[in-house]
Amino acid sequence: MATLRLHSLTATSEKIPTSPFVPSSRVLSASFHCNEKRVSRRMTINAMGGGAKYKGTQMREKQLSEMIEKKVTEAKQVCEGDETSDECRVAWDEVEEVSQAKANLRLRLEVEKKDPLESFCLENPETEECKVYDD
Amino acid sequence: MAVCPVYTTQSLNSTCSISTPSKTHFSSHHNHLVFYRTSKRTSKRGGSSSCVITCSAGDSQTVVIGLAADSGCGKSTFMRRLTSVFGGAAEPPKGGNPDSNTLISDMTTVICLDDYHSLDRTGRKEKGVTALDPRANDFDLMYEQVKALKSGIAVDKPIYNHVSGLLDPPELIKPPKILVIEGLHPMFDERVRDLLDFSIYLDISNEVKFAWKIQRDMAERGHSLESIKASIEARKPDFDAFIDPQKQYADAVIEVLPTQLIPDDNEGKVLRVRLIMKEGVEHFSPVYLFDEGSTISWIPCGRKLTCSYPGIKFSYGPDTYFGHEVSVLEMDGQFDRLDELIYVESHLSNLSTKFYGEVTQQMLKHADFPGSNNGTGLFQTIVGLKIRDLYEQITASKTAAPLQATKA
C-alpha cells in the first residue's frame, strides 16, 4: 500500500494544495504533471490501494466515474442551445452531485481508510457486493 | 441541600410532549421516558408539588447546530473535527443502508439535509430545478423532524442516495446529545432556524471554490477545466439566490479567500481565512487576539519564531456584518511546524480550551485532514471547541434552573 501521505505540519519543503475534498497526498499532485491521463489514473488507483476493500465499493467507484463522464457529455449537449435554460443548470447540477459523491467516497477511503460497506459486509459476507477486492 | 435534577410540572409539560399519541414513535419515546415519584424528597420539602416527576428525555435536551456548506455531506472534515472534539469517531449507522449520509458518534449525530429532498434526481430533472432550489426540498418535514429530535423523540428520516439519485427507505434516528444538521439549507426556513442553538456558514470565495474543484475533479476522466468551470457557473444563480443569503443568519461565518501574502496567487494553496463571530449570541464568547474589542494586526514570525515563505499574518477587530456587530479573527498563510501552531495558540484568548495546547493537540490529531496547516483547520477546530462550550453551558443551565425553581 502506497504511503505517500504527508503530515503537513511536519513537512517543510513541498506545499500541498489544501482542498477539503482532496486529502494532502503527493500522488494526487503528481497525477497533474503526468502527460498520460491513463497512467496518472493508474497511479492514483494504486496509491488508493488501501481503500476499496469490497467489490461493491470498487463497483461504486467505477459507476460514479462513468456517471461523471456521461453527465458531463449530457450537460454539454443540453447547454449547446441555451446556457441559461433550466435544463442546462439542472444538467450541470447533476454533474456536481456525482462529482461530489465520488470525491466523498474517495475521501472516506483515503482519509478514514474505512470501506463504507464494512458494517454491511460483516452482517452479509456472502453477498456479491462483499467479495473482497484483491489489489 | 438535596441535589434533585427534577423538573416542575410546568417544565415537564413543555419538554416532554407526552400528549402526542399520534406520533408513530411513541414506543421509542416511551423508552426514553422515566416517570417516578420522588416521594421521599417531596415529603422533606413539605410535600410541595415542585419536586415530583422527572423525565429523562427532557433531562438533556438535544442541542442543535446548523452548518451550511456547499460541498455535499458526510465528507465534512469540519464534522470530523467537531465530533473529535467531543471524543470518539463519527461513523455511519452500523448495519444500515451503506449509502446513508448520517454520521453517529457517542455524543453527536450529523444529519445531511439532502435527505429532505422532496424531489429525487429524476423529479428535479422533470421540474427543471436544481438541488439548490427550495422547491426540491421538504422544509415541513425537516422542521418536524428536527423539532422532534430536539424534544427527545426518535424519527424515521428518509435517505437520499447520492449514487442512485433516489430516495431510499428511511432510517431510524435516535435523539442525540448534539444534533448537527449539515447541508445547503439549514438556515433557509425560519422555523428550522429558530430551533438552532448555533449556526455556522462556510463561505468559500469563487476563486478558492474554483481551485478546490479543479483539485477535486481534474483526476476524473470525464472532467476538464471547461467542464469544471461550466458547472460552477451554471449553479451560481441558484447559489446566489438561495444559499448565500443564509450567511446573514449565521452565528459564525468561516470565510475562505485567496491569500494576500502572495501577489497574483491563483492556485488556492495558501489561504486567507476569516472567522466572523456574531456578538451577543447566548453561550458564545468570540475568540480574540490580545485585547478584546480593539483592532490588531499581528505577524508572529520574527525573532522568536521563524516561518518559511509566505509566513503567517493575523488580524483581529470589530466590524459589522449584515447589520450585526461582529468580531473578526483572520489568518493568512500556513503553518509549517508544530511550534508555530503552539505559539499562535498561546496568544489567542477565549478559546474555550480545557487545557493549554488543546487546539494544537486537536490539529495534530487530524494532521492528515485537509486544511490542517492553515486557517480552515484552525478555525474549524476553534468553532468545535466553542460548540462544546456552548453545549456544556446549555446543559448546565438546564439542570440549574429547576433547582432554583424548587428553592423558591
On chain B, the residues whose CB falls within 8 A of the CB of A47 are: none
CB contact under 8 A, B222 and A71: yes
Domain boundaries, chain B: 58-201, 250-394
Task: Quote the CA–CA distance of B105 and B108 in Å, as a whole number.
Answer: 5
Quickly list DSSP for B138-206: -HHHHHHHHHHHHTT--EEEEEE-TTT-SEEEEEEE---SEEEEEES-TTTSHHHHHH-SEEEEEEE-H
CA distance A51 to chain B (A): 15
Chain A residue closest in CA terms to B69: A20
Nearest to B234 among A69, A89, A111 (CB): A89
pLDDT at B83: 85
Residue B6: pLDDT band (50, 70, 90) is very low
Task: Quote the CA–CA distance of B353 and B385 in Å, as a whole number.
Answer: 7
pLDDT at B192: 97
Chain B residue closest in CA terms to A123: B95
Superfamily of domain B58-201: P-loop containing nucleotide triphosphate hydrolases (3.40.50.300)
CB contact under 8 A, B130 and A117: no
Q: What is the pLDDT of residues B52-103, one digit of tens each?
A: 343 444 455 899 999 998 877 755 788 888 888 888 777 888 888 888 899 8
Residue A56: pLDDT band (50, 70, 90) is confident
Chain A residue closest in CA terms to B123: A90
ipTM: 0.80
% residues pLDDT > 90 (chain B): 62
Interface test with A, best of B78, B210, B220, B360 (most A CBs within 10 A): B220
Q: What is the pLDDT of residues B215-257, one digit of tens each?
A: 888 888 889 999 999 999 999 999 999 999 999 999 999 999 9
Q: What is the pLDDT of residues A16-45, one digit of tens each?
A: 344 444 444 433 333 334 344 444 444 344
Interface test with B, best of A18, A83, A120 (most B CBs within 10 A): A18
CB contact under 8 A, A5 and B368: yes
pLDDT at B406: 53
Closest by Cα among B271, B340, B342 to B306: B340
Highest mean pLDDT: which of A101-105, B95-99, B329-333, B401-405? B329-333
CB contact under 8 A, A9 and B341: yes
Chain B residue closest in CA terms to A95: B231
Instruction: Give the pTM.
Output: 0.79
Instruction: Confirm if A73 and B222 have CB atoms less than 8 A apart.
Output: yes
pLDDT at B306: 86
Residue B399: pLDDT band (50, 70, 90) is confident
CB contact under 8 A, B72 and A104: yes
Task: Quote the CA–CA distance of A8 and B334 in Å, as a whole number.
Answer: 10
